[in-house]
Amino acid sequence: MRRLRDLTRARTIATQDRSREVQRLEKFLESSGIKLSATVTDLMGVSARAMLEALVHGERDPQKLASLARGVMKKKIPELVEALTGRFEEHHAFLVRMHLDRYDSLTASIDSLTARIEEAMLPFRTERALLETIPGVSTLVADVVIAETGADMATFETPGRLASWAGVSPGANESAGRVKSTHTRHGDSYLKGALGQAALNIARHPKGTYLGARYRHIAARRGRMKAIVATEHAILAAIWQMFTNGVIYDDVGEKFFIQQNPIKAKNNAIKRLHELGYNVTLTPTQNATDTAA
């Protein structure tokens, strides 16, 4: 477990370093007037990488560079021509080559670490498969959760203990009936980072899951950041239950909050329609009657 933890932490650090390298490259390109990141989603994607390689090898014609676009990027050729019109010189080519080589080196390190992690993960394939049934939890996130918690919930008496240790429980700083702070503690930074990635995946996930509905429910009332932390807490609570009882994740669905309090959900919907300038007359259907019952 110690070796697995070393490997996953090394991969996390390498991944963060690679992301920073892309940010440095983006900033440097802008200093030369190349605004490629304003048009492409991924600066290291197939199309963008081909354009960067061509720039490094001496091509300066924006039209020829834009013609290297592939797939859906071909629709953006006019925007690409404008983005690739700058003051790119040999000096810039030299430094861009360095950034690209560093990115490739870090990618190779990440791939090597991932291969070693796969070997170390052999005894925990069942636990990883369980974790991957949770919406938003990727294989990479599951690896970190197992490495940091040891996949053993005997250490944590309750889900709340696990969440507190991980640093995703609200603080309880209250004096004389006045709440002074609800900031979370630092906790395990690697586990917290992985949970944050899972929560962001859920926030961007299509509707249809309980965790997604929970995120939107809290975000609407208390803001996005508190919703992210609450989602991280809910994921850890589910993990505790799954590892303790050896069961897969059971999603109760996005209608959970409506079914919990259908009258409140109805009143909120009517209120929003009134705010939009509509008068509403309701006729309950059989499904609505059953839900209310």
State pLDDT tens for residues 108-147.
Answer: 999 999 999 999 999 999 999 999 999 999 999 999 999 9
The predicted structure's pLDDT at residue 272: 72
The predicted structure's pLDDT at residue 266: 67
In terms of pLDDT, which residue wins out, 155 or 20?
A: 20
CA 165 – CA 177 distance, rounded (Å): 26
Residue 166 has pLDDT above 60, yes or no: yes
Q: Can you give the pTM of this predicted structure?
A: 0.79
Mean pLDDT of the chain: 86
